[in-house]
Amino acid sequence: MKVQLFQQTSPLKQECEDALICNEALKLYGVCDGATPLIEFQDENGHNGAYLASHLFRQHFESISNMYSLQTEVAIANQLLQEKMQLYHIDMAKKDQLWCTCIAAIHITDKTIEYAQLGDCMIVAKFVDGSVKVLTEDTVKGISKRAKQQREEDRKKGLSVPNEAIFTDKKEQLRYNRYMANTLNGYSVANGMNEAISLIQQGELLRQEIANLFICSDGLFHLEWPLEISAQFVWEHGIKKYLKIIEKLEAKQLIHPDDKTAIIIHL
């Protein structure tokens, strides 16, 4: 088994809000992507909520020496995140202030490959028969559209919702989106909310059926390629050649580069 880890911090950020999980003893690997905060909180070391959330998950998964299931470990880390926020007097009722991270993780044993996911970190598998499958769903995709629909429905119900013109401000739009976290019509994310646990996507594969795995944060998504194509390119040509394609696309379309994190596994 060959495992390659890759990470590149966005030039627009002071520190990487993604985190890589690599617990070699357990063959436990994952990618976390902290959501850039909407408030100016920093801890005594100058870290923001995105960094603290993603790295808390990394520290938890790298510290364990045995495990029952990935879902259980995600739930434990989520609880630890809630406790750490409370320690810093973060108001858990204000969802736009919560520290958040997406996560995609896998646990490889002699016989199985277990996976678990929240948010938009993604896992792709190539089977020994040559077929490629995206194992997880990006629950963040389309959130702004769903949020707008939610506001329209709430207004029809007579609920108090600000005028839509307010949401032309990107920050106000993002703030509202955070209130969609871990709701039925929203998106899943680890942010200390107990509701996140029921939204964990999970599954198990037979190890003998899998040839390659690709785990990545959304900073490595290609705007025009399906994730299956991106993963196939990385397996065949390497992450650095793929990165050049992404960076050219970002420059051409004036896209702000995000942190980029990936794990490439050849079984």
| Statement to judge: residues 113 and 131 lie in one domain | yes
Buried b (16+ CB within 10 A) or exposed e, 178-209: bebbbeeebbbbbbbbeebbebbbeeebeeee
Boundary-marking domain end, from 160, 186, 212: 186
Task: Look at residue 179 in the predicted model and tell me its pLDDT.
Answer: 96
Q: Which domain holds residue 174?
A: 141-186
pLDDT at residue 48, rounded to an integer:
97
Same domain, 84 and 161: no
Q: Let me know whether 61 and 98 are in one domain.
A: yes
At 226, list the tokens.
């399906």
CB contact at 8 A, 30 and 103 = yes
CATH of the domain at 191: 3.60.40.10
Q: What pLDDT does 15 receive?
A: 95
Q: Are residues 225 and 254 in the same domain?
A: yes
Characterize 134-156 residue by residue with b for buried, 16 or more Cβ atoms within 10 angstroms of its Cβ, and e for exposed: bbbebbbeebbebbeebbeeeee
Judgement on whether residues 176 and 220 belong to the same structural domain of the protein:
no
Domain check: are 160 and 88 in the same one? Answer: no
Q: Which pLDDT does position 68 carry in this prediction?
A: 86
- Amino acid code (one letter) for 117: Q
In angstroms, how far is the first alpha carbon of the chain from the final one? 5
Do 147 and 16 lie in one domain? The reply is no
pLDDT for the residue numbered 98: 97
- Each of the 267 residues of the chain gets a pLDDT tens digit; together they read 999 999 999 999 999 999 999 999 999 999 999 999 999 899 999 999 999 999 999 999 999 999 889 999 999 999 999 999 999 999 999 999 999 999 999 999 999 999 999 999 999 999 999 999 999 999 999 999 999 999 999 999 999 999 999 999 999 999 999 999 999 999 999 999 999 999 999 999 999 999 999 999 999 999 999 999 999 999 999 999 999 999 999 999 999 999 999 999 999
Q: How many domains does the chain fold into? A: 2
Write the DSSP assignment of 13-49 as a string of letters.
SSS--EEEEEETTTTEEEEEEEPPPSS----TTS--H
* 26 and 72 belong to one structural domain: yes
Pair (120, 69) in one structural domain: yes
The span from the CA of 105 to the CA of 153, in Å, is 35
Is the pTM here over 0.75, yes or no? yes
Task: Indicate whether 242 and 111 sit together in one domain.
Answer: yes
* Whether residue 160 sits in one domain with residue 36: no
Same domain, 41 and 145: no
